Amino acid sequence: MRPANPPRRIRHIHIESGALKLDYQASAEQAQNVADALMGNGYSELKLRITVDDNVTDDLPALPCAELWEE
């Protein structure tokens, strides 16, 4: 019998650029993948500030299209 998959760790991702401030909850893998993608790949001119932390609250919306960020 296979052991059950461990629960996914949920993280808070904060994306900020000037007046734009976005906050979402996502799996740890998805949040890190988004942060890595936005901090590289030619997005440096946007001057984004991105943090990933454990400040998850029930009112945070889920990361849009989160499944796109799974590897």
Q: In degrees to the nearest 10, what's the CA dihedral of 49, 59, 53, 29?
A: -90
Does the predicted model carry a pTM greater than 0.85? Answer: no
At residue 14, the pLDDT reads: 97
- What digits encode the pLDDT tens for the residues 20-65? 999 999 999 999 999 998 888 666 677 899 999 999 999 999 999 8
pLDDT over 90 at 4, yes or no: no
